[in-house]
Structure 1
Amino acid sequence: MRKAFIIEDIMNSPCAGLNQHLVPAQEPEKKRSKYGSKKAEVDGINFDSQKEAKRYKELRLLLKAGKIGMLARQVQFELNPTGSHSLIYIADFVYRDMSTGNQVVEDCKGHLTKEYKKKRKLMRQLYNILIAEV
């Protein structure tokens, strides 16, 4: 007498991949970011890292206290204005320091990449802006 096959026999067999309709769908694994940062949300705003979200909370308090003004996120700077291709640096935060009146450009970095270092140098050369790294 032949043994009857059950669904578990098929799912555990080497040819289970050929019968995908029989295998329960699995949730895809969440992909880890390149440098290990975890996304965060504050006030309905998505941030690329928890460090950036924490800094936003600090800046928001400084804004309410009147220490800073004109707070903006994800501000773009063109670093190759006369070139054949566009090279853009996106600052995490830009604001005005009310005690000095100076514009501050901030970037929340956990890891200084080669590309970032190049853009930081170009920001200094083109706009005479030193990026504050938090």
Structure 2
Amino acid sequence: MISIKSKYNSKKTEIKGIKFDSKTEGEFYLYLCELEKQGLIKDIILQEKLILQEGFKKDGKTFRPITYSVDFTFTDRENNIIRIDVKGMETQQGNLKRKMYEYKYKEPLYWVAKSKKYGNEYGWIDYDELKKKRREAKKEVVA
């Protein structure tokens, strides 16, 4: 496993010859591989590039399309397409692209994070749920 730091203090990692933007993203890939081995999911796609807004021309100027690369796409046992982005933190750009995705695509997009304190047996938790749990814990400390 090779690691290189990025702008969000995450370490780029290589697992099974595949480069991931963060160690956590690589760990989630291994988690998905295990689910695939158990027959719970299939057809894992890495970094699927989706168009959120088409490119266009206006007043002689060309505007490129707005795209979103989803970390993982796979099919569940009921043949539903599931898209997942692994998050360490949210950004304004990420929130905007998530909103645009939700407007354009019917398939769910989940943001997941790793949390030993709040996650499942493997540490994974829905990012919005993690934010909620952290807010509640903060309120308890203040009270």
TM-score (norm 1): 0.71
- Per-residue deviation, 1:33: 2.0
State whether structure 2 residue 54 is matched by structure 1 residue 91.
no
1:58 match: secondary structure = helix
Shift of 1:41: 1.2
The Cα of 1:32 is off from its aligned counterpart by 4.4
Q: Report the counterpart of residue 53 of structure 1 in structure 2.
A: 26
Gap runs ≥5 in structure 1: 1-30
Q: Is residue 111 of structure 1 aligned with residue 89 of structure 2?
A: yes
Over aligned residues, Cα RMSD in angstroms?
Answer: 1.5
Query: What residue is the counterpart of 1:26 in the other structure?
Result: none
The residue type equivalent to 2:45 in the other structure is: A
Cα deviation for residue 131 of structure 1 reads: 1.6
- Work out whether residues 55 and 66 of structure 2, in 8 Å CA contact, stay in contact via their aligned partners in 1: no
Structure 2 counterparts to residues 19-98 of structure 1, below 5 A: 32-81=5-54, 83=56, 84-98=63-77
**C-alpha separation in 2, matches of 1:122 and 1:49:** 24
CA distance 1:82–1:67, shift in 2 (3 Å):
same
TM-score, with structure 2 as normaliser: 0.67
Count of residue pairs brought into register by the alignment? 103
Q: State the alpha-carbon separation in 2 of the partners of residues 130 and 113 from structure 1.
A: 20
Rounded Cα–Cα distance in structure 2 between residues aligned with 1:85 and 1:108: 26
Q: Deviations over 1:60-112 (max 9, x none)?
A: 111111100111000000011264421000000000111x3211100011111
Is residue 2:105 matched to residue 1:132? Answer: no
1:123 equivalent among 101, 105, 108: 101
Cα deviation, residue 39, structure 1: 1.2
C-alpha distance in 1 between matches for 2:5 and 2:12:
10
Distance between the aligned counterparts of 1:82 and 1:126, measured in 2? 15
Determine helix, strand or coil for the equivalent of 1:39: strand
Structure with higher Rg: it is 1
Structure 1 vs Structure 2: percent identity of aligned residues? 34
Moved over 4 A (4+): none
Any idea what the Cα deviations from partners look like across 1:6-59, whole Å, max 9, x if unmatched? Answer: xxxxxxxxxxxxxxxxxxxxxxxxx84221101111101111100000000000
Higher strand share: 2
